[in-house]
Every structure is written in C-alpha cells, then in structure tokens.
Amino acid sequence: MDIKEIIKLYNELTGGDPGKVQKLAGAGSSRRYYRLFSRSSVDEENAERGKDASAEDAGKKPQSLIATVGANEVENEVFCRLSGFLADAGVRVPRVFKAAPGCYLQTDHGDRALFDLIKDWHNDPSQHEDTLKEGLRRAIYELVKIQTVDDSIFTGRMMAKSFSERQVKWDLNYFKYDFLKPSGIEPDEELLEDDFERMATHLAGSVPDSIVGFMYRDFQSRNILLEDDGVTLIDFQGGRRGPLIYDIVSLLWQAKARFSETIRSEMLDYYIERLAQERGTEVEKEILRLLPDFKLFRALQVLGAYGFRGIVEHKAHFIESISDGLENLETLIDEGVLSQYPELERCCRLLAAGKEKYRSPARGRLRVEVFSFSYKKGYPEDWSGNGGGYMFDCRWMHNPGRYKEYQQLTGRDTAVMEFLESRGEVQKFLEGAEMLTVPAVECYSRRGFTNLQIGFGCTGGQHRSVYCAEQLARSLALRFPDVMIELKHREQGITEEFNK
C-alpha cells in the first residue's frame, strides 16, 4: 500500500485529505507507520509559527491519526477486531476507526514510550529512578487489566492458539536455528532435543489456572506508550491464552533495560499484589515457583529474535542488544536455572563466553556541533578528527541581507525570522534537514559515538545559516535530552550549549 491509498482511506474517514503525512520510525516488525495530521491542525500550526504561544496553546496537541501498514492480513484483522473489545472492557489500547486491506487508521497516543524513560534512567539514575518506577507501576497496572479480561473477549479472536508444548518448542527452535547455530555452536542434536522436550512439558503442564489468562506475549517497553494520565498498550495482536507470568518477566527482565535487582523485586511485588486482587492470594506462591523457568524461556526466545533480526537480517539495533541478552543468560547459568538441561547449559556457557564480540565499543556521550558559517570563509574545522557529518547550503533561499533594514540583524532576530518564514522556503528546508540528521543522532548516540558535526552555510554566515542552525540545534536538544548539543555561530562569535 502506498501513500496515495493511505490518504484515500483518511479521506473516506474524515471527508478531506490530511494536512501533513509524517513517516514514523519502524521497530522489529515489517509494519510501517505514518502520522496523518488534520489540515486544520497544520493550518493552526503554520499560523502560530514564530509567534509566542500562550500557556494554553503550548499544551495543545495537533489532531492526528496513525496509519499502520502491514502485509499480514490476519495480524491486521486480529488487531482491529481485538482493540475494540479491549477498549470497551476498559483497557487502554488504540481504537481503530477505519480499515482496508493492508492498512488501518487508529488513535494517536504519541511517540514517548516507557523505553524512553529507561534511557533517561540509564543516563542519570538518581535523577530519573522515581519517574521510572512510576512509569513501570502504570504499565503493570494496565498489564493486569488486559491479562484478566474475561476469556470471552479474546476467545476465537486471536491469531495464535493457546500456550502449549508445541508453542514452547517453536520458540526453543527459534533460539536454536536463528541464534545458537548462526553463532557457530553445534549442539548434540539428540541431547538438546531431550532438554527441549523436558522444558516444553514442564512449562506447558505446570501453570495453574489462577495465573492463566490473556498472555500479551510481547510486553516490553517499546510497546508501552506514556501519556499524562497513564499508559496505552500497543502491539498485542500476538497475544493468546497462556501463563501470565511470561509478560511480567518480559518487562522486568528485558535485556536492554538492565534493571537493578532492587527495581525488579519492587515491581514484581507490585505485580503480585495487583494480580492477587483479581485472582486471589495463591498467585504469589505460583509466580515465585515458576519465575526461574520463565526467565530462562524468555531469555532464549529473545536471543532467537535478536539472532534473526540481527545476525540474519543485519539490523544494528538487534546486534547491539545481543550482549545484554547473553548477560541475562549468564546470570541464569550462575543461578543454576539450567542445571536440569545439561546440553542446553553446555551450549549456553559457550555462548556467554563469547559475548564480548557482540558488545558495542565503549560508550561515550554524544556531542553534536551545529554550526552556522560563511562559505566565503570556508567550512568549519573538525577538531574531533572523525570527519564526516552534514553540511547544508542555505544560499538558494532569498537573502535578507540584500535589504537595508536587515543588514545589521542576524537570523536570531525576530524581524529576520519573520522574513524567512513568510516565504515558506525555510520550513521545508529544515524539515528535510531534520529527516536526515535525526536518525544519525539517534544511531550515533545508541552506538556510543562521541562526535557529529552539522553545518549550515550561507553567503555571509549571518542570516539564513544562523536561523537554520538555531532551529535545528534547539529541536535536537529537545528531542535528545541525553545528547550534548553545541550551537556555534562562527561568524558571529556566539556559542551556546544545551543538555550539558
């Protein structure tokens, strides 16, 4: 499905075309996402651009919808069908307004996920731990709501059958063929199969009804969207009837999150307390009994996913997560959780011993230098020694410096800003610059790089380049609070730092 078909679906729903379509970053799946803004919200935004917004306007969100495009029609139908029933049952999930083959339009709940809170906490634990814990509690509160909905809400509406030995074996083979063997380790097939059969029989046959319900299946921080009054859950179409403990393990032992044992223990206690309110006090004993087994199962399943998306499909984010997954596995080995599966334990010890090859280089804090400069005086020097970066030529835009009233001003002055914005050129130019630089900043930061240079040049380094450098630097500073942004107007002798 292309953009024209998405716009057509939006038109059928609203009676008009969107004012703007914004492609959103993808995740682990092959689905694509777009944010469609209403024309009225875009008109309002343009009318207010460059003016001081009131406190009331500052909190106003543009009206928008999310278009989800996916080739798996069964998956699409399950999500569309199930979201309505879950929302009616009081679970905070997106509502689907209109669907067509390959696409559906749903409510927009923003871009900030629990994953972002975790990143903030990693950067400054003392400053963000309380906020992180509150986000986790909200997520767990909503998790228990979706896990304990009446069976009639999801029975016959799911893509997957109930949790069973067969499903356990699928995930174990996922680990075997997409991670273990691509890592260069050859197991004794007969012995490993014996271990897999024992694990599948145990996991499928040892879970009492008190902790069985709607198993979310992929309850991890990227699928939990943060809002002012709670959280919204997405990507639940892989859910099925199964052991509820799987989901809390998925969240608290998410490899990339690297939660402390203190946080895990506190949040697990909160989960047990919440679930006990719905299912009775016996759930505590059963969850604690089964916790080690499901920590192991989830760790293997996650490594299978990292292997497929990273080693097989060569997606950098998943390759970088492998070392965290192997550290989880190493902890389980040390705790004796694998002792009843001797061949699996042997293979996992070999994997853990090789975890360093997947580890990212030593991580430093990224510094992004955003310059304005005059082409007459040459490009900005790169003292980092890394080279590269982005240089944007602003000279094609109409030059305020040609007019006497602007000649003593710079791109930081309101009059020059209004001159540039009134022509409509600079907005599209900056939008394109942001589309190019934001993914680079995100990737450089994630991979532990320390320097990135971005420059805007014009004839004199006074008006157009200064305006553009100001706008991009401030936008990046807001979007990436953990990245240092250094704004340098070379010809003006002005330097500012953000997120120091």
Per-residue pLDDT tens for 382-436? 756 566 789 999 999 999 999 999 999 999 999 999 999 998 899 999 999 999 9
Q: For position 148, what pLDDT does the model report?
A: 97
Count the residues in the chain.
Answer: 500
Per-residue pLDDT tens for 254-271? 998 999 999 999 999 999
State the first-to-last Cα distance of the chain, in angstroms, to the nearest integer.
44
Place of tokens 């630097």: 473
The DSSP annotation for 252-298 comes to HT-TTT---HHHHHHHHHHHHHHHHHHH-TTHHHHHHHHHHHHHHHH
Residue 41's pLDDT band (boundaries 50, 70, 90)? low
Of the residues 333, 358, 383, the one at which a domain ends: 358
**Stated pTM of the model:** 0.69
96 and 146 inside one domain: no
The dihedral built from the CA positions of residue 73, 77, 83 and 86, taken in this order, carries a sign that is negative
**Distance (Å, whole) CA 320 – CA 441:** 16
Q: Is the pLDDT of residue 52 over 80?
A: no
CATH of the domain at 41: 3.30.200
Which residues span the domain enclosing 51?
A: 3-107
155, 81 Cβ separation under 8 angstroms: no
92 and 183 inside one domain: no
342 and 395 inside one domain: no
Q: For position 310, what pLDDT does the model report?
A: 80
Residue 156's pLDDT band (boundaries 50, 70, 90)? confident
Per-residue pLDDT tens for 221-258? 999 999 999 999 999 999 999 999 999 999 999 998 99
Per-residue pLDDT tens for 321-377? 888 999 999 999 999 999 999 999 999 999 998 887 776 544 568 899 999 999 999
192 and 308 inside one domain: yes
73 and 157 inside one domain: no
**Distance (Å, whole) CA 25 – CA 406:** 40
437: which residues sit within 8 A by CB, 6+ positions away?
390, 454, 472, 476
Residue 242: C-alpha distances to residues 208, 210, 245 (Å): 10, 11, 9
Of the residues 77, 107, 137, the one at which a domain ends: 107
**Distance (Å, whole) CA 313 – CA 321:** 14
Residue 435: C-alpha distances to residues 1, 6, 25, 276, 472 (Å): 22, 21, 11, 47, 11
375 and 405 inside one domain: yes
CATH of the domain at 159: 3.90.1200.10
Place of tokens 């197991």: 187
Strands (E), 70-178: 96-100, 103-107
Name the DSSP class of 314: -
99 and 118 inside one domain: no
451, 381 Cβ separation under 8 angstroms: no
**Distance (Å, whole) CA 378 – CA 399:** 19
229 and 325 inside one domain: yes
Domain count, the chain: 3
> What percent of the chain is modeled with pLDDT above 90?
75
**Distance (Å, whole) CA 484 – CA 315:** 26
Residue 53's pLDDT band (boundaries 50, 70, 90)? very low
187 and 167 inside one domain: yes
Identify which of 499, 459, 495, 463 has the alpha carbon closest to the alpha carbon of residue 371. Answer: 495
Label residue 470 exposed, middle or buried (CB < 10 Å: 0-12, 13-18, 19+): buried
Place of tokens 């709940």: 109
161 and 266 inside one domain: yes
**Helix 245-252 vs helix 261-279: crossing angle, to nearest 10:** 160
Q: Is the pLDDT of residue 454 over 50?
A: yes
Of the residues 58, 79, 107, the one at which a domain ends: 107
237 and 325 inside one domain: yes
210 and 122 inside one domain: yes
328, 299 Cβ separation under 8 angstroms: yes
Q: For position 272, what pLDDT does the model report?
A: 98
**Distance (Å, whole) CA 496 – CA 487:** 5
Q: Hey, is 399 helix, strand or coil?
A: coil
Residue 59's pLDDT band (boundaries 50, 70, 90)? very low
Q: Is the pLDDT of residue 195 over 80?
A: yes
Residue 196: C-alpha distances to residues 164, 166, 235, 247, 291 (Å): 13, 11, 28, 21, 18
Greater pLDDT, 25 or 118: 118
